[in-house]
Every structure is written in C-alpha cells, then in structure tokens.
Amino acid sequence: MEPYDALLASITPKSGETRTITDPATGTAIGEAPIHTLEDLEQAINAAQAAQPAWDGLGHEARSAVLLKAADAIERSAAELAHLLSREQGKPLNGLNARFEVGGCVAWLRAAATTPLEAQTLVDDGETYAELHYKPIGVVGAIGPWNWPMMITIWQIAPALRMGNAVVVKPSEYTPLSVLALVKVLNEEIPEGLLTVVSGDRTVGARLAEHPAVGKIMFTGSTATGKAIIKSSADTVKRLTLELGGNDAGIVLPDADPKAIAQDLFWGAFLNTGQTCSALKRLYVHTDIYDAVCEELTKVAVAAPMGNGLDENNVLGPLQNKAQYDIVANLVEAARASGARILLGGNPDAGQPGYFYPTTLVADIENDNPLVAEEQFGPALPIIRYSTVDDAVEKANALDVGLGASVWSSNRDAAREVAARIQAGTVWINKHGAVDPRIPFGGAKQSGYGLEFGIEGLKALGTPQVINL
C-alpha cells in the first residue's frame, strides 16, 4: 500500500481513454491519467463561466476565507501529496524537494489569500477624485510545467481565484497526477466549477490559449512555447503572464570566501536536481579564487546523495523524463569533447534504472560552449573563469534570456553595484533562486513578461478600472 492510494484512486478515471504514468526513478507504473479531449475542455470552460459571477460576488474577504480553508486541506493531505509527487516527478521527499513543494503550496496559497489589495486613490485635489480598482478578468487558463508541478500550479491559480476569477488548469503531460490530486484536494473547499483540470495533449493546451472565453493565460515553460501562446492569443487580445526559459548567471567576485559560499552556490544550481527555471546555470568565477571555488563546490557536491526519492537519505533525484536526460547528457559530452575539464560526474551508469544523471561540475570551459550558452535544466554546472568584472557582466548579459542572476561577494555595496548592471528580472546577492510569496518575480528579455507574487501578482490577475468623479 502506498500512502497516496486513496487519493490516487479518487482521480483515476472510471471510463474513457487513459495514459500510464511511470516513475522516472524506476520506470514502474504509478497510475492512469485521463486523456481529456477538446470536448472536455469546452465543458470545463462552460462550467467556469457559469461559476465565476457568484465567486466574484463574494468579495475579497469571503474568497480569502475559502482559500485559507483550501490551504488547510492541502496540509491535511500533505503526506499523500508529497509521496505521489516524489513518485511522479522523481524529486526526493527530503530536502528542498517534495515535502518542501507541498509546504510551498500552502504558503503561497495563504499569502495570496491574505495580501491586502485596497483601492488606490490616484487624485484627490478638491476638484477631481479618481480611484484605481481591479476587477476580475473572468476565466483564466493556467498551463504548467513538470519540474514544480504542484507549486507552480498554486502560483497560477491562487491569485487568480483570490481576484474573483475561475480557472482551467492544463498540466504537463509528464506530471498530470500530481496536479489532478492537488486540485482534487483544493476542490474539497472551493465551489464547484471554479477550478478544473483538463489533462490533455498539446492540442488541448493550444485551444485553451486561443479560446475566446478565456481572458488570460498564465504559462510557465519554454520560450518557444511561450512565443506560440503569444501568437495564438493575439486574435482575442488575451492578457498574458509568461515565465519562460532562463539561463541564470552567477558572478563570484574576487573578495568572496569560497568555503563560505560553496553550500549556497551548490543549492542555487542543483535545487530539484537542476530542474528549476531560476536555478544557477552558469557560474563566472574570478581567476584569483577560481581553483578554490571549484574545490569547495566539489566537496559539497560529493556529499549530496542522489537516488530514489522515497529513500529518506537522498536529496537529489532523477531527471523527470528521457528527453531531458538526453539534453543534459549531450551537452556534457559536447563540453568534454571541446576540452573542458570534468571535475565531477559526467559518467552516468547505463545499467541503472531510471533517468539518473550524476551531479556534474565542468571547469575550464569557454563561454560559447553549448553547456554554457544553452539552458541545460539538469545537474550539470559549467564554471567559467574571468579576469575583470566588466568581462563577467558582459558575458552574463550576452544571452537573450534574463530570468534571474546572482552576485557573490563579501562586500554588499560592491555586489549591489554589479547586480544593478545585470539584465535579469531578479538579481540575488549571496544566494540564488530564493523566491518569496511577498516579492514580485518575473523575467527580462525572452524569459517572459508579467509579474507573479505579492500585490503586483494579484494586480496581474485583474482588469484595472479607474473610477473618476
């Protein structure tokens, strides 16, 4: 018996076409996911349209109360959700992984429910009085990824519901069970019809993006798919929030302490086994401390156990799917062939079940190498040597993406000066990838547009309305 058996049974289709979902750590079957159709999508959108006006009419306070109860429901089912997530996505239960993700769902849902959003007085000069309000959009489409399937779904649906919208969710085909289970739990408290999952293929996602009854699309995924959504949404002038691909740079200044920063550098890069949009994916280190940083990072990496996520000792897991495994393996092999130095890893065990790629650190690599220039989205970190800060900043800014970045230094003022020169939506200092439900998050350049989290995230799920007296 698995801890999630009852929950899984509740989302297993009793009829209709299904698809077997397998564990990326073992290749064994987990369960059956429905293959929803365009007709199912139409039914979900119709139900959302019917339920949304009454939900809007409740007002912020009553909607927030419902969402807080929904957060409590997630907490009640946390063990089952975490185990199912670990099996389907591959991430370990322990560390910043499955249990952490379920806890993040609770935290972000509560934050969306309790963040105040008052009407803003724009002008009050005795002659003119103007207020800015935010009204619901109507029906929101939420299209999510496979790397953080539960938490990113909450990032999308929590503010949408708080602002009075209904939501239709399209999960990744790789991780539908996690999202179906999460929404099943949420719907214990949320009124019927407001929140529906349509677990279909890309044709379903494409139709959701272009559907005339959907007023906004929230999407987290690749830049290529984001561009397709922009095109398909044009005819209906949909509002969009797009969190797209990234290739985050970290710059280690010469005054940094290699030993002190090694642990945070490692987890900035290898959180969720590197399968995080805002993970540290290319590390620029000043030549004066280059060898020391490589040495300290290697020590940390060797001590981080990788294996089946249900083993409480592991903190790193497999890549979620074969396609992503092949991308990482090919990029590392190209780096090796170019003459780069493999400090650790790069030697997967072909006889091991599952999509495990070993923790890999690559040194003495050129900035134009594909492992640096392309988003690897896995457990392989290239470490690039630089001589001047100007050179490091230029290299960090050279790509057409800019989701996040980081600067590492013992001098906060010096780090802030460098951070201000980096073209990215968020620049962290002496940490990387630390998102917070109170702090807006979004990308620059081709990493997308629109903000999530905090007050700005709520506003993005509403239509601004000025009342002018």
Active site residue 294: no
Which segments of 291-346 are extended strands (E)? 341-344
Residues in the chain: 469
From residue 292, how far is each of 128, 300, 316, 346 by CA, in Å?
64, 13, 24, 21
Sequence-distant (6+) residues with CB within 8 A of 21 are 29, 30, 31, 32, 33, 88, 175, 176, 177
CA distance 354 to 466: 55
Amino acid at the residue 299: K
List b or e across 160-189, with b for residues whose CB sees 16 or more CB atoms inside 10 angstroms.
bbbbbbbbbbbbbbbbbbbbbbbbbbbbeb
And the tokens for 168? 């239709």
Angle, CA of 347, 348 and 353, to the nearest 5°: 165
From residue 75, how far is each of 44, 101, 104, 118, 345 by CA, in Å?
26, 12, 11, 29, 37
CA distance 391 to 251: 11
Q: Of the residues 80, 101, 277, 452, which is catalytic?
A: 277
CA distance 163 to 463: 10
CA distance 21 to 54: 36
Using only C-alpha atoms, the chain has a radius of gyration, in whole angstroms, of 23
Angle, CA of 269, 295 and 391, to the nearest 5°: 65
Active site residue 394: no
Q: Of the residues 80, 88, 173, 243, which is catalytic?
A: 243
And the tokens for 446? 């081709």
Amino acid at the residue 317: G
Amino acid at the residue 374: E
Annotated catalytic sites, by residue?
Answer: 243, 277
